[in-house]
A and B are shown apart, each in its own frame.
Chain A
Amino acid sequence: MADNNHSNGRRNFMATTVQSVGLAALGGMLWSGYTDSVKASPLVLRPPGALKEEDFLTACIKCGLCAEACVNRDTNVDKETGLQRPGTLQMAKGGDSVLIGTPYFIPTEVPCYMCEEIPCVPVCPSGALDMSSLLNEKEELDINKATMGLAVVHKESCIAFWGIQCDACYRACPLMDVAITLEYQKNDRTGKHAFLLPIVQDHACTGCGLCEIACVTEEPAIFVLPNDIAKGKAGDHYVKGWDAKDQERVADAKGQETMTELSKKAADDYLNTEVEY
């Protein structure tokens, strides 16, 4: 009897252990799958100084201190009513299609006003908002160093590209004439007018979204996209032969010439002669 009980006990123990491990594995897979799917929100705009999206999601501890600093900053006052305005940064809620509890902003609701003192960044306790990425040459916090996103112009709906005079985004830009410049072009349709075309300068645009909310069209013709989405990439194998600095990348490269029957008869190279590189 005692032996029987003993082996039953052991069998039960084995069974419950296997059951627990199995259920844990099931739960782990469901949990992992869910977590993996909700962390993919490629169209989200993060606060200034945020790490690369993948690292940001890892690092953000979802405390909300950035959002609290944003809404409670001294300058966040409606000039007409004297009351506090809503903050730029929101904490993602269920149903927002952004990883829950992480800070983000929607330019058409409240853009980033690019406060000089950047209240949202130094309060970050975890390192998800990286102060060092916002330091200028003088080691001072400089909001112009922010790379929250990149404004993109949709030419077909931008009325300036139609020839109508509009420079709303150009004037709304906190880095006027630096991040958005106006390019003059002859309007061949009328023959006597000019196009004043807004051109976003990739190296200077911070992605604040002030242009987007200023845009006069029904749906903004200029809008901020996350850098990963807005930017292409030529690839390392393209070298700018006219750029001395870029040329350094291939300083050690060795030329390789293939001689065939055809190459004996050289083509005329009139385009590349007497050109300064």
Chain B
Amino acid sequence: MKNLKYLLLRRTTQIGLMFLYFAANAYGWNILAGTFGTSYIFGVIPLADPYTTLQVLATGFVLATDVLLGAAIITMFYFVVGGRAFCSWVCPINMVTDLANWLRRKLDLDKEEVNYRFLKRSARYWIMVLGIIVSALIGVAAFEVVSPITIMQRGIVFGFGMGGAVVLAIFLFDLFGVKNGWCGHLCPLGAAYSVIGSKSLIRVKHDHEACTNCMDCKVVCPENQVLHMVNKESISVTDGECTNCGRCVDVCNDNALGFGIRSFGSSVLKTEEKAETK
């Protein structure tokens, strides 16, 4: 039987957090109230989305200290657990796009994948910067106007309205359009967390000795370009685009992948090794 440990842990975390947000509105619970823009743990500790915060600051509005403090706390937290851990462990859209991705595999849609040359994985970084520029130009946090992430979260907490169409659109886009289209190509929030993730502490580590080159990890990975070291060298996945979802760890039958702490000396070591080989 396939190991589903991290997948189940992730779904539990995602659904659990969404339920806490929902309960804050529906039952007046105080454990986790608000939405990603700003929330409070027990009404005391502020949490705020760093990218949203940047957009509001770009409009020229001087935010109150709670939001700035909240953004700092979230940034520090993801520096530890891995930037895009937000994407795979918290974001509700992840469940939608994972479902689309799973259906793509089941329906063999991947095989005939159209090569959307105009849509590169780097597009999200352009969109991330563009979001800040448009916020500054128009005077409204620009991504928040269209973000399917907060639309879905507010949908869960306050009711969807027409917002459900946006979530459905993302699902159809990922299923029939571009593979990993939203999370892996377009989402500027994921891009912002990628920037944090490129320096974050907890990372997937690869053991080249144990690997049998079955490539199961690359099939399930939503950002499989980050697994370039598989069956080549024993290093950590240092790429910020890795979401720390742990699917590769789950599907690996050789114990060649697991979570660990980023080794900071590795780059120095590598240059020394290179010098020696010369």
Q: Is A20 in contact with chain B by the CB < 8 A criterion?
A: yes
B-side contacts of A255, CB under 8 Å: none
A62 touches B165 (CB 8 A): no
Classify chain A: how many residues form its interface, as a range.
Answer: 35 or more
Q: Is B234 in contact with chain A by the CB < 8 A criterion?
A: no
A96 touches B158 (CB 8 A): no
Q: How far is the CA of A127 from the CA of B107 in the complex (A)?
A: 49
What residue of chain B has the Cβ atom nearest to residue A24's Cβ? B126
Q: Is B37 in contact with chain A by the CB < 8 A criterion?
A: yes
A34 touches B145 (CB 8 A): yes
B158 touches A90 (CB 8 A): yes
Partner of B134, one of A31, A55, A100: A31
Interface majority SS (helix, strand, loop, mixed), chain B: helix
Q: How far is the CA of A54 from the CA of B60 in the complex (A)?
A: 12
- Beta-carbon contacts under 8 Å, B151-170 to A: 151, 154-155, 157-163, 165-166
B64 touches A126 (CB 8 A): yes
Q: A-B contact count, CB below 8 Å?
A: 144
Give 1 or 0 for each of B126-152: 1 = CB within 8 Å of chain A CB.
110111011001111110111000110
Q: Is A95 in contact with chain B by the CB < 8 A criterion?
A: yes
A61 touches B38 (CB 8 A): yes
Q: How far is the CA of A157 from the CA of B43 in the complex (A)?
A: 47
A96 touches B161 (CB 8 A): yes
Q: Is A171 in contact with chain B by the CB < 8 A criterion?
A: no
B-side contacts of A32, CB under 8 Å: 134, 137-138, 142
**Assuming A23-B118, A28-B130, A95-B162, is B140 touching A35 (CB within 8 A)?**
yes
**Assuming A62-B150, A64-B25, A94-B165, is B158 touching A39 (CB within 8 A)?**
no
A58 touches B61 (CB 8 A): yes
A-side contacts of B158, CB under 8 Å: 64, 67, 90-91, 93
- Beta-carbon contacts under 8 Å, B6-22 to A: none
A61 touches B37 (CB 8 A): yes
B-side contacts of A59, CB under 8 Å: 56, 61, 63
- Beta-carbon contacts under 8 Å, A5-33 to B: 20, 23-24, 27-28, 31-32
A-side contacts of B75, CB under 8 Å: none
A55 touches B151 (CB 8 A): no
What residue of chain A has the Cβ atom nearest to residue B27's Cβ? A72
Give 1 or 0 for each of A35-54: 1 = CB within 8 Å of chain B CB.
11011000000000000001
Q: How far is the CA of A59 from the CA of B145 in the complex (A)?
A: 13
B-side contacts of A202, CB under 8 Å: none
Q: How far is the CA of A127 from the CA of B59 in the complex (A)?
A: 14
What residue of chain B has the Cβ atom nearest to residue A27's Cβ? B130
B-side contacts of A91, CB under 8 Å: 154, 157-158
Specify which of B34, B39, B59 lies most central, judged by the most chain A CB atoms within 10 Å of its CB. Answer: B34
Least distance between B72 CB and chain A CB atoms (Å): 13
Q: How far is the CA of A205 from the CA of B130 in the complex (A)?
A: 42
A61 touches B130 (CB 8 A): no
A126 touches B126 (CB 8 A): no
What residue of chain A has the Cβ atom nearest to residue B163's Cβ? A94
B134 touches A28 (CB 8 A): yes
> 18 pairs across A/B with beta carbons < 8 Å?
A32-B142, A35-B138, A36-B138, A57-B140, A62-B35, A62-B150, A68-B25, A68-B28, A91-B154, A93-B159, A93-B162, A94-B151, A94-B161, A100-B151, A125-B48, A126-B38, A127-B62, A127-B64
4 additional A-B pairs beyond A24-B129, A57-B139, A93-B161, beta carbons within 8 Å, are A27-B126, A63-B39, A72-B28, A125-B70
